[in-house]
Amino acid sequence: MASYKRVLVGLDLSEESSQVLQKAGEIGQAFSADLSLVHVIEPLTFAYGGDIPMDLSEVQEQLQSQAKDQLRKAAEKLNVPAERQHVVLGQPATEIHRLAEELEVDMIVIGSHGRHGLALLLGSTANGVLHGAGCDVLAVRVNVE
């Protein structure tokens, strides 16, 4: 079995993130691995295609501030230090790959909602991370309650 020393945990900060955190904590404990947490915020211009003639930078800053606060609270549960908490702006799968390479992680842990039908055809962040990662990826099946 592979030995994991550095694990990157991708969180969407939804209620289901606690399930991903729990599994990551178990892996961290089992392998005495260092955990890093990441939340990727897609720029609002991506979501709206730049068609809205307004300055969204203030809203973007508020989203980043809220995400940092939520990630800090999640990190406290597993004693992940501030220097291993990352809130980044960009396309989720791309940024998770970039950070995983930068941090030289052995494993990425991410949540998977197990979508079917059209959502499956369109792809998901977990699928994007899985197919472009240079290390092992654990997709934790989250139960939506």
Looking at residue 10, its pLDDT comes to: 96
1 in any annotated domain:
no
User: What is the number of domains present in the chain?
Assistant: 1
Please name the residues in contact with 40: beta carbons below 8 A apart, sequence gap of 6 or more.
Answer: 10, 87, 88, 89, 90, 91, 92, 95, 96
The CATH number given to whatever domain includes residue 86 is: 3.40.50.620
128 in any annotated domain:
yes
84 in any annotated domain:
yes
> For the chain (length 145 residues), average pLDDT per consecutive 10?
89 92 96 96 66 70 92 96 96 95 96 60 73 92 77
What global pTM score does this model have?
Answer: 0.86
| Boundaries of domain holding 37 | 6-141
Looking at residue 118, its pLDDT comes to: 45
41 in any annotated domain:
yes
